[in-house]
Amino acid sequence: MTLQGTTTLVVGGSSGIGLATALAVQLQGGHVLLAGRDQERLRAAQFRLNAEGNEVHIFSVDVTAEPDVRDLLLLLPRFDHLVSTAGAGWSGQISSVHTHAARAAFDGKFWSKVFLAKYAASKLPTGGSITFVSGTLGERPAGGAGITSAANAAVNALVKTLALELAPLRVNAVSPGLIATEAYASMTAEARDAMYQRAAATLPVGRVGRPEDVAQVITMLMLNPFVTGSVVSVNGGATL
């Protein structure tokens, strides 16, 4: 079974795990629709993907805005699989939580996926799938990351309910550990490398993740007809 001839909407496909997923889908002969907020990043990803395979269409949307998600999904033709990697964490102690920023992080990580599932379900065929990306903090907490932990855990719970409500559509989550992506682009190279090295030293696999490590599992979940309501950890052993 391959993705040959199928179409996948990758929300967050302009960067990191989403872009790696789009490339993996293309490698298996699938068509890709890319969504994200920033047009320039989308165009750069489109350019790269067009050079590798089928023509890619891009859509600029902020998936935290329910009307925008609804409008995008009304506009799109039917597709076979939905993947969303959109969202980012929020760091800080609960005792001094910056409520506005923390709510925004929850919107990006959790509510965006509620909106996507709500409006995408009718576009997806019986054999289709939804795969959402959560994160290790949803399984194993860390001080100063309570909002991110809660948002990731909420995504993990959401896919289980969606797997029941949207059946026979399959709905799963992938929970990545530390993955070297553009998400850390605002750090200096030195600080980033030091963080990766510290993390790698604690992991049984001895390295941090690559976006391709996660993309491989996402495409497996898209293809395997007997997996639904699952949360698959891709974390190099971080939760052991």
Task: Give the residues lining the site for ligand NAP (CB under 6 A).
Answer: 11-12, 14-18, 36-38, 41, 61-64, 85-89, 108-109, 112, 133, 135-136, 176, 178-179, 181-183
Which residue has its beta carbon closest to ligand NAP?
Answer: 16
Nearer to ligand NAP, 1 or 240 (CB): 240
Contacts of 21 (CB under 8 A, 6+ apart): 8, 10, 13, 83, 85, 211, 214, 215, 218, 219
Would you please indicate which residues are annotated as catalytic (active-site) residues?
A: 134
Three-class SS of 109-155: HHHHHHHHHHHHHHHCCCCCEEEEECCHHHCCCCCCCHHHHHHHHHH
CA atoms within 13 A on the CB side of 96: 5
C-beta of 38 vs 165, nearer to ligand NAP? 38
Pair 144, 92: CB distance under 8 Å: yes
What three-state secondary structure class fits 22? helix
Q: Provide the minimum distance between the beta carbon of 126 and ligand NAP in the complex, in angstroms, as a whole number.
A: 27
Q: How much of the chain is helix, strand and coil, in % rounded to 5?
A: 50, 15, 35
Nearer to ligand NAP, 12 or 128 (CB): 12
Nearest-approach distance from CB 127 to ligand NAP, in angstroms: 25
Report whether the peptide linkage leading into residue 125 is cis, meaning its omega lies within 30 degrees of zero: no
**Measured from the CB atom, is 25 or 133 closer to ligand NAP?**
133
Q: Please, what is the minimum distance in Å from the beta carbon of residue 89 to ligand NAP? A: 5
Backbone angles phi, psi at 66, to 5 degrees: -55, -45
Cα dihedral across residues 115, 121, 124, 127: positive or negative: positive
Smallest separation (angstroms) from ligand NAP to the CB of 149: 11
Instruction: Return the number of the residue (30 or 176) whose C-beta is nearest ligand NAP.
Output: 176
* Least distance CB 64 / ligand NAP (angstroms): 5
